[in-house]
């Protein structure tokens, strides 16, 4: 980790983060980061730019792999090549458009930040921090503002690296079971011994008068007492507290009333105190968080202390949460007003800086941004002499040659297939199947869960009429958020927090493992929770109450339902700029497999459209929605539809089993009765699904495009699924990455072999038609077998990095329970992976990409504008989504 405080919004720290990973002294490979992904069994590799620091985290369970990754990361960070061509590729450059002869901006980070700041939530948070932090380093956009990025020079980049990427300004963090002395010896040999200590590398400080929080920096662990559902951010040197609302009526005129409500609430807390049950619930959540085992725990610790280190805080103190909780409990026992005093001292000071920011929708927000950029570029074009234009063209040609140059990847360290165990028993599931009160149950045996029991309830919803499935996403959102006979909706969060780690609900569709195109998929509602031993009865009793006694039609819950619909519509619309590739992929699979329709209804563009309509529904329409949700609960939550999965310790099994029987299953059987489906709110009519043309363009207010192309493939259990999966990895890493990201300027690309479909995708992509040409080129490249045995080995390493990723206790038994994928099935696939040869993959490519290849579908989620005629002329079905307005400040 390096301290990298910004002095402007050119994104120098972000562009440097990209550029150091474009080749170094020992490893002069243009893209060692992505090449190491292919040569490793890593469980995590990344590079991250924060508000004032940059980190390069990685993790793996293989000791040899750890040493390999460490050597590449260290050389990249401390001894990068930082070539100007790589700066132009990753940062920004001018090119001359082949089609129109106009100047255009290109660059990976530039396109990334255009996409990031197209998201209204990201834009709001960025502008709020800038306004709140005037006079400090945080008034600058560390990732880069697209309007400022083009002013960054190559010389600025190199100077920033010289200043900040020095051991005196660096923190090395490791977690795991490898000897620390070996790490330190290697660091000293490869890095520390080659630098002189520099005393001027302390973190930059820019002080200001009066600020949004008391001037205790984020290193102070006592600030945990004011964490809660509001926004409390300690990532900056000055912690901030914020309260936000969305969907308000009245615009600017409503702001004073909202501000007054916030201040009144703070004053009321100081005067009357916090609800003791809510405080108990928060403390219970902290206790659970200490026991709940999560994936990549070391990385979580690192993220937790990165800002503390950047601000010269006490790292050890911030890692010792148990003493802090003990002290907090002691202080609250000694002083009943202990928490309230923190609100008074930290949030109600007269000298605190306070900012109010309002964001309003503007249909032309993105178009106005593009217009300003086009005007700027048009003016630049006028200013260019013929010699200047020739220079731009020469640089473009030089960069293209640089990108196409053969790379000496053999200099990079690598694992081999010999490093992959033939049997990976560590991830095998140990399951005992039984029945509890006539309900099928699976108990997953694990050595330890830190006394937490994890419960999954899977309800088959196949009996529901088809028309109900378009409401399923809303049902999962409101489950646990609407009141029951005993608890009002605003009481439930506290009740849930006091007994469990939360209640989740999701809609899922499971394709057939053997005939994904012919057999129907299975639709289910998956509920989950976790709890400690002394809370099992309470948790299961509450779960029963939520299943059977949610009062969907009460006036109070109807008001809450309307708010949830409005919030969900807003969240879904704003997610398009960050989830465009996933949404385009989901739409492209509609009709290809039975499961594709349900995926679209549950989480696709169709659901976003539906939410936008429901957010504006009348009172009667709202009651209709509530009746439908009530029907779903009455039909789905029957013991006949239920299967259970429990992950717990052997010593807790008897207690959990008895509680399941007495607190959930017996009451559920007693209250359940057969429902006459003819009495349901909706008719048995066929499910209305969107039609998908061969070419589809969905226009949204975004700055860059998402491009997906999909065709039919094979089922999970089909003999071709394994080689198809490896071929997809090869096409992604050995062809598309170079064509779409490096040469095309998109932020990313990928190839995925799903169950029944095969897709290629790009995100934050400025070159749609070139990307589609690259997709066609990838197929031709695969059919002609233009990949090597080494490419196959590297693809297999990438696949096994995912297959063998460690599973936390809460994830054990999941695939067996949800998809009936057994240990034997996983082992057979493993053996098939390890026996694959290059020719097997060439055969797959020729079989599925040759002359008899299935028809392809293209779905593009892209920017709205006046040039959509290009897509219309090429036969695209173009649809505009003007209701998803972007924000203005």
| Cα–Cα distance, 812 to 712 (Å, whole number) | 31
* pLDDT surpassing 80 at residue 363: no
Q: Which residues pair with 822 in a beta bridge?
A: none
Residue in this structure with the two tokens 């945080």, named with its chain if needed = 138
DSSP-derived secondary structure for 39-65: T---SEE--EE-SSEEE--EE-S-HHH
Q: Which tokens in the block code for residue 362?
A: 């503007």
218 pLDDT above the threshold of 90: no
Instruction: Read off the pLDDT of residues 460-503 as tens digits, 9 standing for 90 and up.
Output: 999 898 899 999 999 999 999 999 999 999 999 999 999 999 99
Alpha-carbon distance of 569 to 247, in angstroms, equals: 10
Among 392, 402, 394, smallest CA distance to 86 is for 402
Please report the pLDDT score of residue 684 as a whole number: 64
H-type alpha helices, 348-413: 365-383, 386-404
If you average pLDDT over every residue of the chain, what do you get? Answer: 91
Q: Most confidently modeled of 358-372, 396-410, 650-664, 736-750?
A: 650-664
Q: What is the mean pLDDT of residues 200-205?
A: 48
Residue 674 has pLDDT above 60, yes or no: no
Nearest alpha-carbon partner for 31 in 402, 554, 573, 500: 402
Most distant CA pair in the chain, distance = 86
Asked if 26 and 79 count as a contact pair (C-beta separation under 8 A), the reply is yes
Distance (Å, rounded) from C-alpha 458 to C-alpha 818? 8
pLDDT of residue 268: 94
pLDDT category, 882, cuts 50, 70, 90?
Answer: low
CA distance 410 to 419: 18
pLDDT score, position 713: 96
Task: Please report the domains of the chain, with CATH numbers, ordered by start residue.
Answer: 2-205 (3.30.830.10), 221-294+303-347 (3.30.830.10), 426-679 (3.30.830.10), 695-888 (3.30.830.10)
Residue 888 above 70 pLDDT? no
Cα 863 to Cα 190: distance, rounded to the nearest angstrom: 47
Is 885's pLDDT higher than 70? no
Burial label, 25 (beta-carbon count in 10 A; 0-12, 13-18, 19+) = exposed
Q: Measured in Å, how far apart are the chain's first and last C-alpha atoms?
A: 34
pTM confidence score: 0.88
Per-residue pLDDT, 826: 95
The CA distance from 379 to 406, in Å, is: 38
Provide the pLDDT confidence category of residue 361 given band limits of 50, 70 and 90: confident
Give whole-number Cα distances, 885 to 366, 569, 570, 612, 701, in Å.
Answer: 9, 12, 10, 12, 7
Measured between alpha carbons, how far is 697 from 706 in angstroms, rounded to an integer?
Answer: 10
Task: Encode 771-808: b = buried (16+ Cβ within 10 Å), e = exposed.
Answer: bbebbeebbebbbeeebeeebbbbbbbbbbbebbbebb
Number of C-beta neighbours around residue 474 at 10 A: 22
Type and span of the H or E element at 763 = strand 757-765
- Is the per-residue pLDDT at 413 higher than 80? yes
**What is the Cα–Cα distance from 428 to 807, expressed in whole angstroms?**
10
Q: Are 661 and 437 in contact (CB under 8 A)?
A: yes
Both structure tokens of 102: 């106009």
Residue 867: predicted pLDDT? 77
Number of neighbours of residue 822 by Cβ within 10 angstroms: 14
pLDDT band at 349 (very low <50, low <70, confident <90, very high): confident
DSSP 3-state of 258: helix
CA–CA distances in Å: residue 792 to residues 242, 788, 835, 838: 51, 7, 11, 6
Share of the chain above pLDDT 70, in %: 94
Contact yes or no for 138/236 (Cβ under 8 A): yes
pLDDT digits (tens, 9 = 90+) for 795-807: 999 999 999 998 9
Tokens of 475: 């049902």
Region 128-148: mean pLDDT is: 95
CB 749 within 8 A of CB 709: no
708 bridge partner residues: 761, 859
The model's confidence at residue 200, banded by pLDDT at 50, 70 and 90, is: low
Q: Edge-to-edge strands of the sheet including 53-55?
A: 2-3, 53-55, 48-49
CA 216 to chain centre: 31
Pairing of strands 231-233, 240-242: antiparallel
Tens digit of pLDDT for each residue in 769-794?
Answer: 999 999 999 999 999 999 999 999 99
**Whole-angstrom Cα distance, residue 633 to residue 475?**
9
For the cut 50, the answer to whether the pLDDT of residue 203 exceeds it is no
Record the tokens describing residue 342, joined without a space. Answer: 């923190």
Q: Look at residue 702 in the predicted model and tell me its pLDDT.
A: 84
- The CA distance from 378 to 23, in Å, is 35
Distances (CA, A) of 520 to 258, 472, 568, 721, 738: 50, 18, 29, 19, 39
Measure the CA–CA gap between 347 and 510, rounded to whole angstroms: 49
CB 743 within 8 A of CB 111: no
The candidate with the shortest Cα–Cα distance to 495, out of 485, 507, 506, is: 485
Which pLDDT score, from 0 to 100, does residue 294 have? 87
Beta carbons of 234 and 307 less than 8 angstroms apart: yes
CA-closest candidate to residue 328, choices 222, 229, 226, 233? 222
Question: What is the average pLDDT across 505-525?
Answer: 95
Give per-residue pLDDT as tens, 247-300. 777 888 988 998 999 999 999 999 999 999 999 999 999 889 889 988 888 898
Cα–chain-centroid distance for residue 756? 24
Q: 439 forms bridges with which residues in the sheet?
A: 436
Which of helix, strand or coil describes residue 330? helix
Measured in residues, the chain has a length of: 889
pLDDT tier at 675, thresholds 50, 70, 90: low
């Amino acid at each position: 980790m390096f301290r990298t405080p910004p002095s402007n919004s050119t994104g120098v720290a972000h562009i440097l983060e990209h550029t150091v990973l474009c080749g170094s002294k020992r490893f002069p490979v243009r893209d060692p980061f992505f090449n190491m992904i292919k040569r490793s069994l890593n469980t995590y590799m990344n590079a991250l730019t924060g508000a004032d620091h940059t980190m390069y985290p990685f993790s793996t369970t293989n000791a040899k792999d750890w040493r390999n990754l460490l050597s590449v990361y260290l050389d990249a960070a401390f001894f990068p090549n930082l070539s100007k061509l790589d700066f132009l590729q990753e940062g920004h450059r001018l090119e001359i458009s082949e089609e129109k002869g106009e100047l255009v901006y290109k660059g990976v980070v530039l396109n990334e930040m255009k996409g990031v700041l197209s998201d209204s939530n990201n834009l709001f948070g960025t502008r709020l921090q800038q306004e709140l932090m005037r006079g400090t380093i945080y008034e600058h956009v560390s990732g880069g503002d697209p309007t400022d990025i083009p002013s960054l020079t190559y010389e600025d980049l190199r100077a920033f690296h010289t200043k900040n990427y020095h051991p005196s300004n660096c923190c090395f963090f490791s977690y795991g079971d490898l000897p620390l002395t070996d790490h330190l010896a290697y660091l000293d040999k490869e890095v520390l011994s080659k630098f002189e200590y520099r005393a001027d590398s302390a973190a930059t400080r820019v002080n200001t008068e009066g600020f949004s929080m008391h001037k205790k920096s984020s290193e102070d662990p006592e600030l945990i007492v004011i964490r809660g559902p509001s926004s409390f951010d300690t990532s900056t040197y000055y912690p901030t507290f914020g309260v936000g609302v969305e969907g308000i009526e009245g615009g600017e005129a409503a702001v004073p009333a909202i501000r007054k409500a916030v201040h009144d609430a703070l004053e009321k807390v100081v005067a009357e105190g916090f609800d003791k049950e809510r405080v108990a619930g928060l403390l219970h959540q902290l206790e659970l968080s200490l026991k709940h085992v999560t994936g990549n725990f070391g990385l979580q610790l690192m993220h937790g202390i990165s800002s503390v280190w950047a601000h010269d805080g006490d790292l050890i103190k911030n890692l010792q949460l148990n003493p802090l909780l003990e002290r907090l409990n002691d202080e609250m026992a000694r002083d009943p007003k202990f928490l309230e005093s923190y609100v008074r001292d930290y949030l109600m000071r007269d000298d605190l800086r306070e900012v109010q920011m309002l964001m309003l929708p503007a249909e032309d927000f993105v178009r106005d941004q593009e217009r300003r950029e086009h005007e700027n570029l048009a003016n630049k074009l006028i200013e260019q002499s013929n010699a200047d234009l020739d220079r731009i063209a020469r640089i473009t040609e030089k960069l293209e040659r640089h990108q196409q140059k053969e790379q000496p990847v053999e200099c990079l360290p690598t694992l081999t297939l010999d490093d992959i165990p033939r049997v990976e028993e560590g991830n095998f599931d140990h399951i005992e199947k039984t029945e509890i009160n006539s309900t099928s149950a699976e108990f997953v045996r694990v050595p330890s869960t830190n006394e937490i029991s994890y419960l999954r309830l899977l309800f088959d919803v196949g009996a529901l009429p088809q028309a109900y499935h378009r409401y399923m996403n809303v049902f999962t959102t409101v489950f646990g958020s609407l009141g029951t006979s005993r608890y009002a909706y605003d009481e439930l969060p506290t009740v849930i927090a006091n007994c469990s780690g939360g209640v989740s609900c999701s809609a899922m569709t499971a394709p057939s493992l053997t005939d994904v195109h012919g057999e129907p998929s299975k639709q289910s509602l998956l509920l989950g929770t976790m709890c400690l031993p002394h809370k099992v009865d309470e948790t299961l009793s509450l779960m029963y109450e939520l299943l059977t006694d949610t009062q969907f039609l009460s006036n109070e819950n109807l008001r809450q339902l309307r708010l949830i619909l409005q919030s969900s519509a807003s969240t879904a619309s704003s997610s398009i700029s960050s989830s465009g590739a996933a949404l385009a992929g989901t739409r492209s699979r509609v009709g290809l497999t039975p499961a594709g329709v349900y995926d679209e209804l549950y989480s696709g563009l169709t659901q976003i459209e539906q939410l936008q309509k429901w957010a504006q529904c009348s009172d009667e329409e709202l009651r209709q929605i509530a009746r439908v949700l009530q029907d779903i609960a009455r039909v789905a939550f029957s013991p006949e539809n239920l299967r259970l999965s429990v992950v717990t310790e052997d010593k807790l099994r008897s207690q959990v089993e008895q509680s399941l029987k007495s607190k959930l299953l017996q009451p559920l059987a007693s209250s359940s009765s057969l429902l006459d489906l003819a009495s349901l709110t909706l008719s048995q009519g066929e499910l209305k699904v969107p039609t998908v043309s061969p070419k589809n363009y969905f226009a949204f207010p975004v700055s860059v495009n998402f491009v997906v192309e999909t065709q039919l493939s094979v089922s999970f259990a089909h003999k071709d699924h394994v080689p198809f999966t490896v071929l997809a990895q090869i096409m992604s890493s050995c062809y598309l990455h170079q064509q779409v990201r490096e040469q095309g300027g998109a932020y990313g690309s990928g190839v995925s072999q799903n169950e029944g479909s095969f897709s290629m995708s790009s995100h934050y992509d400025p070159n749609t038609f070139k990307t589609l040409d690259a997709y066609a080129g990838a197929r031709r490249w695969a059919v002609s077998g233009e990949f090597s045995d080494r490419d196959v080995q590297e693809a297999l390493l990438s696949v096994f990095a995912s297959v063998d990723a460690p599973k936390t206790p809460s994830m054990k038994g999941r695939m067996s329970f949800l998809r009936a994928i057994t240990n034997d099935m996983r082992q057979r696939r493993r053996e098939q992976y390890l026996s694959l040869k290059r020719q097997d993959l060439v055969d797959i490519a020729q079989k599925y990409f040759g002359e008899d290849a299935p028809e392809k579908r293209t779905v593009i989620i892209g920017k709205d504008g006046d040039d959509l005629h290009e897509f219309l002329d090429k036969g695209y079905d173009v649809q505009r989504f003007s209701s998803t307005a972007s924000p203005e400040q």
